[in-house]
Amino acid sequence: MPSSPQIKSPVSGPGLLQVAVGLLFVVSGSLAAPDSKSDNVKALDRLHAELLLNYDASVQPQFEGAPSKVLLGLVVNYLDIDEMNGKLTVHCWLNIWWRDEERTWQPSKYDNITQISLGAGEVWTPQITLFNGDEGGLLADTQVLLRHDGLFRRTPPALYTAYCDLNMLNWPYDRQTCTLKIGSWGLRNIAADGNGSLARNDDQVQSPEWQIVDSRARFVAQDYYGYLEYTLTVERRSSMYTAVIYTPASCIVVLALAAFWLPPHMGGEKIMINGLLTIVIAAFLMYFAQLLPVLSDRTPLVVIFYSSTLLFLSLAMVLEVVVLYMATAKHKKRLPEALSKLLHGRAGTWLLLSQFSTSGQFRAEADENHYDTPYDAEEEEHPTSPLSLSAAEGPSFKDLQSDWALLATAVDRVCFGVFSLAFLILASYCSV
């Protein structure tokens, strides 16, 4: 019978030993030449795991046996003020620092890694909020950098809208002082970063209307919480307001005073000029009502100037009606002798009435210029009443009207001086 085949062992004796040695050589060779990138990732993962081992993210870390102090800094990128609602809006970056003595390592043991990035939810972070604003502000969820010496740093962008007591008295050349009360509930050991002053980032977008002229910070401790009170003093850039508000105001004053130098019989033109100026001022006051808080307890001086000018123009219109009546009405009584001598004397010289000093000159100029008054055709029809004028010294009808026109001109000149002084006082009071 044929013998059955025998199964041969693939490796036996010394051959098995050789295979084992070869496998050991291959494994050792692969370990001797590792990929540097793969090794770096492994070191980072190992460091990450060791740092968060037995770590409670809800407990404030310790440093030198006490709760770690939090340093807070602010970098302002953009700010704006809502005058109607009394609010300051600040776009900024927060610089938040704190230490943890148990989160340290030696970089040489982890391929010289000196810092690591962690998620904000993985570690303890102070809950920073705004105490004097809308809903505590908006804080972005950013990464946290941890340095090998245990220093944590977080730099999130923030948007804060704080309430501010605005002083609009000197608008638009005003300075406003507003505060940002930034802190954390239940956190008392908080301090200002650096020298305690607020920083402004010149590389970011700047407000076209406001600029920071002063800033400071101080810590305020309460019973169970604390906060940093950042005080900002901002100044309005007012070059545009000068052209839009103050130049028209100067023109309104000049035109209002120039109307007093028109001849007294042109009272209609004077009233028309003052009426147009009144409409312009009313439009400016409506513009101010749309731009400024109406219920403010400190009315801006520029609004006081425009409203007072409106009152002056209304009074001037009443005076022009009186002047027009004196210059054009059919008078039958002569001026008092003392008043007539005053107008033809030194007072008339001061009021620049020399061109009307004599009635004969007034009549000659009227005849030369063919100036027809409403009394030319009626002079003979309405002779002077003998009850009011004596036969010996009663002047003609045109002489009588000339004296009243001279008085109307004098009233205009006196009003010009009084209103000029009133506008000067008003401008001095409302100047910023």
CA-CA-CA-CA torsion sign (115, 116, 122, 128): positive
**322 and 257, same structural domain?**
yes
Strands 225-236 and 175-185 come out as antiparallel
For residue 194, is it within any domain? yes
CA distance readout (Å), 115 to 200, 360, 388: 27, 105, 110
- Spatial contact of 213 and 233, defined as CB atoms under 8 Å apart: yes
Copy the structure tokens of residue 306. Answer: 């425009």
> pLDDT higher for 138 or 183?
183
Domain that holds residue 147: 62-237
For residue 3, is it within any domain? no
For residue 295, is it within any domain? yes
* Region 194-211 average pLDDT: 65
* Residue where a domain terminates, one of 187, 214, 237: 237
Taking all residues of the chain, what is their mean pLDDT, rounded to a whole number?
79
- Distance CA(181)–CA(226), nearest Å, equals 9
Looking up tokens 């009626």 gives 378
- Spatial contact of 218 and 196, defined as CB atoms under 8 Å apart: yes
**410 and 294, same structural domain?**
yes
CA distance readout (Å), 317 to 259, 279, 324, 329: 10, 13, 10, 18
% of the chain surpassing 90 pLDDT: 36
**258 and 225, same structural domain?**
no
Point out the least confidently predicted range of 37-51, 78-92, 106-120, 140-154.
Answer: 37-51
**217 and 77, same structural domain?**
yes
CA distance readout (Å), 91 to 20, 158, 383: 68, 6, 84
394 contacts: CB under 8 Å, gap ≥ 6: 334, 384, 386
Query: Of 174, 247, 180, which Cα lies nearest the Cα of 213?
Result: 174
How many other C-beta atoms can be found within 10 angstroms of the C-beta atom of residue 218?
12
For residue 20, is it within any domain? no
Copy the structure tokens of residue 214. Answer: 């002063």
* Region 308-315 average pLDDT: 96
- Spatial contact of 102 and 62, defined as CB atoms under 8 Å apart: yes
Per-residue pLDDT tens digits for 93-123: 999 999 998 999 999 999 899 999 999 889 9
Per-residue pLDDT tens digits for 262-302: 988 888 899 999 999 999 999 999 999 998 887 777 899 99
Q: What is the domain-level CATH number for residue 219?
A: 2.70.170.10
**231 and 247, same structural domain?**
no
- Distance CA(8)–CA(159), nearest Å, equals 81
**283 and 202, same structural domain?**
no
For residue 13, is it within any domain? no
Quick check: 192 pLDDT over 60? Answer: yes
* Region 387-406 average pLDDT: 61
358 contacts: CB under 8 Å, gap ≥ 6: 344
Q: Which of 232-241, 308-317, 323-332 has the highest mean pLDDT?
A: 308-317
Query: What is the gyration radius of the CA atoms in the chain, in angstroms?
Result: 45
**419 and 291, same structural domain?**
yes
> pLDDT higher for 127 or 19?
127
For residue 68, is it within any domain? yes
* Residue where a domain terminates, one of 203, 237, 271: 237
Preceding amide of 172 cis, omega within 30: yes
Quick check: 159 pLDDT over 50? Answer: yes
% of the chain surpassing 70 pLDDT: 77
Query: Of 52, 34, 33, which Cα lies nearest the Cα of 42?
Result: 34
For residue 134, is it within any domain? yes
Q: Which H helix or E strand runs over 411?
A: helix 397-430
Looking up tokens 């005849």 gives 367
**327 and 209, same structural domain?**
no
Query: Of 51, 148, 147, 152, which Cα lies nearest the Cα of 107?
Result: 148
**108 and 140, same structural domain?**
yes
Q: What pTM was estimated for this model as a whole? A: 0.70
* Residue where a domain terminates, one of 210, 237, 264: 237
- Distance CA(47)–CA(112), nearest Å, equals 11
133 contacts: CB under 8 Å, gap ≥ 6: 87, 160, 161, 162, 163, 180
Q: What is residue 150's predicted lDDT score, i.e. its pLDDT?
A: 93
Determine the Cα angle at 250 with ends 247 and 251, to 5°. 90
Determine the Cα angle at 13 with ends 11 and 18, to 5°. 70
Copy the structure tokens of residue 141. Answer: 């969820």
Q: Which of 19-28, 200-209, 254-263, 347-356 has the highest mean pLDDT?
A: 254-263
Q: What is residue 41's predicted lDDT score, i.e. its pLDDT?
A: 62
**285 and 217, same structural domain?**
no
- Spatial contact of 81 and 87, defined as CB atoms under 8 Å apart: yes
**222 and 180, same structural domain?**
yes
Phi, psi at 76, each rounded to 5°: -85, 130
**281 and 219, same structural domain?**
no
Q: Count how many domains the chain has.
A: 2
For residue 191, is it within any domain? yes
